[in-house]
């Protein structure tokens, strides 16, 4: 399913966080790469329907605008926000059932069990989220985002807190999922995406600096690795705010 963004902008009061973002997503893995403050989360929150873009912005799913689709739009979207939105007092299983209800899904018991096994939390399903480690929380947030097999899966810095083995599991899940769906993943960890992403969108100050496949980008900038290209564009120091 094609997701088209046309001239999407976002102001927070006077601050322009996203400036005329225009891009067309189809199936595959799309990585948003850029320093802190580049506008990655703003873009993802807009695509997820969590915040509204400025007037004049256009978002179209399979040719139909977000406004026209209304609530139906959300049923196509799975979202893992940058900060987890777990409910500490809920068990992992209860949280999954809760999200399933919010998404209006029915008969999801077996899907929930399957997803929890995939993220290796099935054995912890009756434990409270509040007691989970950072990595367990990330994995549960990934599982809830995938509930209902959304066409567009949006993952905002999903690998934070994962150990190397879990990163591999995560990459494989992303790869498998992206065969028939769109996965949009943000990161500032280059190694998470260079071998994985079908398309890389490099962002800075709310705009696309460059986009393309890993090899096309490397060729264009005369770099041998994505890390080198990143440093070339953004300097040795991260623009951390």
Ligand X SMILES: Nc1ncnc2c1ncn2[C@@H]1O[C@H](COP(=O)(O)OP(=O)(O)O)[C@@H](O)[C@H]1O
Q: Which residues bind Mg ion (CB under 5 A)?
A: 40-41, 82
Confirm or reject binding of residue 81 to ligand X (CB under 6 A): no
Pick the piece of the chain touching ligand X (CB under 6 A) from 39-47, 107-115, 174-182, 226-234.
39-47
Judged by beta carbon, residue 152 or residue 201, the one nearer ligand X is: 201
- Which two structure tokens, joined as six digits, stand for 128? 């409270």
Interacting partner of 38 out of ligand X, Mg ion, none (Cβ under 5 to 8 A depending on kind) = ligand X
How do 64-65 and 199-204 pair as beta strands? unpaired
Pick one of ligand X, Mg ion, none as the site partner of residue 27 (Cβ within 5 to 8 A by kind): none
By the rule CB under 6 A, 15 interacts with ligand X: yes
**Is residue 41 within the footprint of ligand X (CB under 6 A)?**
yes
Q: Which is nearer to ligand X, 38 or 184 (CB)?
A: 38
Burial of 135 (0-12, 13-18, 19+ CB in 10 A): middle
- Give the strand pairing for 182-187 and 15-25: unpaired
CA distance 222 to 160: 30
Q: Which window, 30-38, 73-81, 104-112, 190-198, contacts ligand X (CB under 6 A)?
A: 30-38
Residue 46 makes contact with ligand X by CB under 6 A: no
CA 46 – CA 107 distance, rounded (Å): 29
**95 φ, ψ (degrees, to nearest 5):** -60, -45
Query: Interface with ligand X includes 48 (CB under 6 A)?
Result: no
Q: Which one of residues 9, 31, 33, 42 is an interface residue with ligand X (CB under 6 A)?
A: 42
Q: Can you tell me which of 12, 123, 149, 176 binds ligand X, judged by CB under 6 A?
A: 12
151 versus 157: smaller Cβ distance to Mg ion: 157
How many residues line the site for ligand X (CB under 6 A)? 12
- b/e 3-27 (16+ beta carbons within 10 angstroms → b): bbbeebbbeeeeebbbbbbebebeb
Q: From CA 227, how far away is CA 230, in angstroms rounded?
A: 5
Residues 77 and 150: beta-carbon distance below 8 Å:
yes
Which residues are at the interface with ligand X (CB under 6 A)?
Answer: 12, 15, 17, 34, 36-42, 241
């Amino acid at each position: 399913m094609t997701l088209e963004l046309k001239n999407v902008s976002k102001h927070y009061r006077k601050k322009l966080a996203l400036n005329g973002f225009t891009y067309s997503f189809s199936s595959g893995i799309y990585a948003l790469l850029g320093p802190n403050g580049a506008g990655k989360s703003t873009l993802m929150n807009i695509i997820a329907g969590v915040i509204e873009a400025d007037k004049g912005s256009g978002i179209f799913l399979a040719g139909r605008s977000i406004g026209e689709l209304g609530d139906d739009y959300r049923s196509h979207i799975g979202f893992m926000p940058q900060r987890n939105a777990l409910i500490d007092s809920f068990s992992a299983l209860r949280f999954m059932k809760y999200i399933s209800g919010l998404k209006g899904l029915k008969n999801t018991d077996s899907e929930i069990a399957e997803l929890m096994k995939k993220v290796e939390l099935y054995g912890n399903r009756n434990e409270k989220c509040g007691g989970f480690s950072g990595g367990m929380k990330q994995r549960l947030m990934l599982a809830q985002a995938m509930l209902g097999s959304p066409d567009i899966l949006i993952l905002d810095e999903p690998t934070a807190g994962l150990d190397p083995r879990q990163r591999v599991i995560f990459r494989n899940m992303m790869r498998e999922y992206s065969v028939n769906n769109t996965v949009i993943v943000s990161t500032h960890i280059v190694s998470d995406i260079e071998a994985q992403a079908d398309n890389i969108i490099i962002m800075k100050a709310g705009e696309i600096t460059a986009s393309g496949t890993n090899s096309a980008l490397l060729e264009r900038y005369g770099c041998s690795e994505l890390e080198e290209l990143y440093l070339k564009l953004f300097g040795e120091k991260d623009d951390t705010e």
